[in-house]
Amino acid sequence: MYILGINTGLNSSAVIMKDNKVVFGIQEERLSRIKNQPGFPGLAIKAGLETLGIGIGDISHVCIGGKSSKVALSRQDDLGKFHQRYGEVKGKWFGETESVFAKFAKKGFRKLASMGKENDREKFLEDYLDELGITGKTQRYDHHICHAASAYYGLAGGGKEKYLVFSMDGGGDASTSAVFIGHDGKLDQIASSDAFSPACLYAHITYILGFLPHEHEYKLMGLAPYAQPKYAEVARDILYQFIGFDPDNPLVFTNTPEYSDVRNSRGAAKQRLVEDLFKSVLNLRFDTLAAGLQMLAEEVAVQWIKAGIEKTGIRKVLLSGGFFMNVKANKLISELPGVEFVNCFPSCGDETNAFGAAFLGYQQFKGDGSPAVEFKDFCLGVDGAYDIEQAKGKYTDKVVFRRSPNVNDEIVEMLVERKIVARCSGKMEFGARALGNRSILASPDDIRIINKINAAIKKRDFWMPFAPAILREKAETLINIPKSLKASGSPYMMFTFQAIPEKSDKFLAGIHQSDKTARAQIVDKDIYPDFHDIIAKFDKMTGIPSVLNTSFNLHGYPIVLGTCDAVDVFLNSELDVLVVGDYVITRTPANNANLS
């Protein structure tokens, strides 16, 4: 039985299950090369079928995350809502309806949306399904139960033990948050809200500060520790005007009494909230506002989880939904004394609702006695070397392809020599985090490597940290791991950890320079055998059981797909060397000279 899971919202995606196991998964952006591409994931579906060597007729069930038939064409569909709301406010205040940024973004996104899409403007989900001939095979599932299902069936196996499952984001199927109890293979919803949630607030402040909502929230999270707490508290208190809990049910978010009639994304009442929010934060310093927002996010997350445990007595917690991409809030949840176990589904934005939908479909259609969902490996895409022969022909005059009999040994030697190594090997990771297969690697013990990587390729905001990948068996020599995370080990970079002060010099480039936390990927040999081998050999040579790991992409573009993408990025950067499978790729002398 093959099950196709689809997300058509933000960062559209497709996954394919064969019986109880996900065998392929990819986001549309990796193929369209448009970051966070929304809409129908036609390219992703095609890539999955081709990789597995099956046809659309082999798919038994098509499971869709979300019940809406509307299909976005571009990020402008989402951003346009923000431009419109804040344009109205500016028009009212200043006689302006749009900022320069909004006009530029609209022009750019309209151009992207129109590329090859001339006839798609009026299409709905049913139209795409009809074209593939799969309308009769479809099942649709509520947005938040898909989030919950990804975590419950993916991380807990849907067994008999009880789990408390939390989902929160900017909204889907008329809700912005929900709480479930997972037990005996079922999910029972015990609370939900359609209020202007903390996730909505985070998106709006992201926009107000000039960043892209539903994409750049992590930049505010990274900036927050640099502000002074006493000023951040002032900003937090201002923001609490707009967020609250139902006094009769602490699992339900409400707006404060001033905005009790506000429902997310609907009605004139929300416009009043938006205007008051904008007015309230207008004179706050940018880092203070980011810090106050992050402080509020952490406090309400902790309060929400504690309320769930107190109400149900269940101490095993699962997290999903875009809000929980906030790894600093997740850290505080993991440290709560009342939390016995916690885990968060990897890259838990809307892109992974394709997993949740597929898992729900498997639960619905599996036969009696069928095994539970099997999920461990998040490297589910195409192989990095799938187009190696094409790349050899395309770039023969620009790079040298050399096959190595011991490529991991060579990688380690280059890391020890302080080189920046780009690795495009094995199946591509799903989601926002590079987990070793589409990664830029470096030695983590020299703080200067941050500026070197930024100059070479990343061009990241100066305050943003990089992350370490650490051997699981030696992780506690570098970071403090709460008891609640010892069982799961955090292999997908969904939590931060406090660095052990006396060991922080060993991986200084991989920790936040203000609060000394690390968004660590804890590398398990069973999940990442090749990547584990590299780090273990690096540890043997240096005494450091960690390497610096950041995603292999140019700033503002998706992570590379295969060899052609990797070589293209390599040639448009100052990376020292590229590894694809067992090939070591370097510039020709002429191209190397161009870097000088």
* 559 token code pair: 């992570």
Predicted confidence band of residue 570 (pLDDT cuts 50, 70, 90): very high
What string of H, E and C letters represents the secondary structure of 449-517? Answer: HHHHHHHHHHCCCCCCCCEEEEEHHHHHHCEECCHHHCCCCCCCCCCCEEECHHHHHHHHHHCCCCCCE
pLDDT-derived band at 105, boundaries 50, 70, 90: low
Q: How many CB atoms lie within 10 A of CB 329?
A: 25
Count how many residues are written for the chain. 596
Buried b (16+ CB within 10 A) or exposed e, 169-195: bbbbbbbbbbbbbbbeeebebbbbbbb
Residue identified by tokens 């502000």 is 227
Residue 416 CB-density burial (10 A; 0-12 exposed, 13-18 middle, 19+ buried) = middle
Distances (CA, A) of 425 to 150, 470, 562: 26, 19, 8
Which residues on adjacent β-strands are paired with residue 102?
none
593 φ, ψ to 5°? Answer: -65, -30
* C-alpha closest to that of 511 among 483, 540, 470: 470
Confidence of residue 122 (pLDDT cuts 50, 70, 90): low
Dist. CA 195–CA 260, nearest whole Å: 9
Q: How is residue 95 written in tokens?
A: 């006689």
Q: Which two tokens mark 356?
A: 């949740």
- Confidence band of 117 (pLDDT split at 50, 70, 90): very low
Closest Cα partner for 7 from 492, 360, 382, 438? 360
Tens of pLDDT, residue by residue over 394-431, are: 999 999 999 999 999 999 999 999 999 999 999 999 99
* Amino acid, res. 138: T
The answer to whether residues 76 and 106 touch, using CB atoms and an 8 Å cutoff, is: yes
- 372: tokens are 């539970």
Q: Is 247 exposed, middle or buried (0-12, 13-18, 19+ CB in 10 A)?
A: exposed
Q: Which residue has the tokens 């200067």?
A: 448
Least confident of 219-228, 456-465, 502-511: 456-465
Domain boundaries, the chain: 2-71+123-141+355-375, 76-114, 158-344, 382-594
Give which of 199, 185, 134, 189 is closest to 165, Cα–Cα.
Answer: 189
> 2-71+123-141+355-375: CATH homologous superfamily?
ATPase, nucleotide binding domain (3.30.420.40)
pLDDT computed for residue 27 by the predictor: 98
Burial class (CB in 10 A: 0-12, 13-18, 19+), 596: exposed
pLDDT, tens only, 216-244: 999 999 999 999 999 999 999 999 999 99
Distance CA 118, CA 445 (A): 51
pLDDT at 260: 84
CA 186 to CA 360: how far, in whole Å?
A: 10
Q: Which two tokens stand for residue 390?
A: 């094409």
Quickly list DSSP for 71-136: ---STHHHHHHHHHHHHHHHHHHHS----HHHHHHHHHHHHHHHTT-TT-TT--HHHHHHHHT-GG
Share of the chain above pLDDT 90, in %: 86
Q: How far is CA 228 from CA 79, 298, 347, in A?
A: 31, 16, 30
Nearest to 258 by CA among 286, 281, 280, 236: 280
pLDDT band at 594 (very low <50, low <70, confident <90, very high): low
DSSP category for residue 263: B
Cα of first residue to Cα of last residue in the chain, in angstroms, is: 55
Closest-CA residue to 326 (of 302, 309, 306, 310)? 302
Number of helices and strands in the chain (H, E): 19, 25
Give the model's confidence band at 100: pLDDT under 50 very low, under 70 low, under 90 confident, else very high.
Answer: low
For domain 382-594, give its CATH number from 3.40.50.300, 3.10.290.10, 3.40.47.10, 3.90.870.20. Answer: 3.90.870.20
Average pLDDT, stretch 520-531?
97
Determine the Cα–Cα distance for residues 454 and 506; give it in Å rounded to an integer.
Answer: 20
Output the six-digit token pair for 111.
């151009």
Model confidence pLDDT, tens digit, residues 267-292 = 788 999 999 999 999 999 999 999 99
- What pLDDT is stored for residue 255 in this prediction? 87
Contact (Cβ atoms closer than 8 angstroms) between residue 29 and residue 11 = yes
pLDDT, residue 590, reads 77
Share of the chain above pLDDT 70, in %: 94
Domain 158-344 CATH class label: alpha beta
161-220: per-residue pLDDT in tens? 999 999 999 999 999 999 999 999 999 999 999 999 999 999 999 999 999 999 999 999
Count CB neighbours of 70 within 10 A.
11
Model confidence at 78, pLDDT cuts 50, 70, 90, reads: confident
Rg (CA), the chain: 23
Using alpha carbons, list the distances in angstroms from residue 496 to 192, 430, 480. 27, 20, 10
CB atoms within 10 A of CB 264: 22
Partners of residue 55 on adjacent β-strands:
none
Question: Do 2-71+123-141+355-375 and 158-344 have matching folds?
Answer: yes
Q: Give the DSSP letter string of 8-21.
A: -SSS-EEEEEETTE
Residue 94's pLDDT is what? 87
Residue 168: HSE in the Cβ half-sphere, 13 Å Cα cutoff: 29
Sign of CA dihedral 315, 321, 327, 329: negative
CA atoms within 13 A on the CB side of 104: 5
